[in-house]
Homo-oligomer: A and B are copies of this chain.
Amino acid sequence: VETAPLRWEEGALLVLDQRRLPAREEWLRCTTVEQVAEAIRTMAVRGAPAIGLAAAYGMALGARDPERSAELLAATRPTAANLRWALNRARDALRAPVTTGGQDEEDPDPAEILLSHARRLHEQQLEGEHRLAALGAERLEPGDRVLTHCNTGALATGAYGTAGAVLSTAWERGRLGSVWVDETRPLLQGARLTAWELGRLGIPYRLVADASAGALMARGLVDRVLVGADRIAANGDVANKIGTYPLAVLADRHGIPFLVVAPVSTIDPAAPDGTSIPIEERDPGELLGSAAPGTADALNLAFDVTPAELVTAVVTEAGVLEPPYGETIARAVAGRA
């Protein structure tokens, strides 16, 4: 994938530094787990599925002390379910017997096990995202004007994308008119990253302020809302980039379908509902910038929770989940195990 924000090359994880986009395409070369953790923490790589994948590669770099590496990576960002899921999978891979076509090795190299695990995860993720993109595209209609928030394309997953992949596939299949892109304050993932991706894909879009959604919907300019997710609770409550919940409330008022697109690894069966999802507070400085008075303080909540009742459907690689989410999510999770 041309825009894939991470790849393995000669013993290092190369990470496209998303903080510099779209002005510059700079790659970070991570050769230690500490460097990977720092890239996740500082959001050089971001997007729940992408940080899960980066963490899987990070485990390969930190194979000498897997427990410490997993702790280091888990501590970077609290909300994304995929991160913890990927770390658990990596631990499982270490414990599993290695089958190498009949040849049993005495001491399999943990670094090799973890690297081949990460590569497999990367491939599975790419396949899964193509499946969910196809399923999601069927939910769109030709000419649809879709409102989206934050960034959910290849940059957000390291592969094809979530909501962004649905937009790509729908565009290829003539099932998309244009996209409204929320700029997504404070870090402007929409203005910087989604605009960059859609421009490269040739998909027509216009940027809007995050607070514009109400006016756009009231004017009949939005046919569907598509967003990704950072964690989905067992009851279908969805944690996603701050500003997602207002979009869902407005979509509900205007009778507009509100679709969440995410891999099954985003579901956290251990979280009964949104109240048990930890919500990251980031540095107020990200919000204050240079505009506010020097004495100003800010509350910089990175995510909010959209109650399941406002979610029309959750598009996953295992199928499109609909209410009652308690049941459909449980089935999807059982299928993944």
Residues of A whose CB lies within 8 Å of any CB of B are: 22-23, 180, 182-186, 188, 191-192, 195-196, 199, 205-216, 218, 242-243, 245-246, 249-250, 253, 279, 284, 287-293, 295-301, 303-305
Contact = CB atoms under 8 A, between A and B. Distances in A.
A184 B209 CA distance: 9
Contacts of A214: 243, 245-246, 249, 304
A298 B182 CA distance: 10
Contacts of A195: 292-293, 296
A195 B295 CA distance: 9
A36 to B, nearest CB: 26
A57 B287 CA distance: 37
B246 A211 contact: yes
A234 B75 CA distance: 55
State the oligomeric state as a number of copies: 2
The dominant DSSP class at the A interface is mixed
Nearest to A243: B211
19 contacts: A23-B290, A188-B291, A192-B293, A207-B298, A207-B299, A208-B299, A209-B242, A211-B211, A211-B242, A211-B304, A212-B242, A214-B246, A215-B245, A215-B279, A215-B301, A216-B299, A218-B245, A218-B305, A246-B249
Contact of A212 (B22, B250, B301): B301
Nearest to A188: B291
A292 B184 CA distance: 12
Nearest to A279: B215
A61 to B, nearest CB: 31
A209 B183 CA distance: 12
A245 B218 CA distance: 10
Nearest 10 Cβ contacts at the A-B interface: A211-B243, A215-B304, A214-B245, A207-B298, A214-B246, A210-B211, A191-B292, A185-B209, A22-B293, A188-B291
Contact of A293 (B180, B196, B215, B253): B196
A207 B287 contact: yes
A299 B211 CA distance: 12
Contacts of A246: 211, 213-214, 246, 249-250
Given A192-B293, A209-B242, A214-B245, 6 more contacts: A188-B291, A195-B292, A206-B298, A207-B299, A211-B211, A249-B250
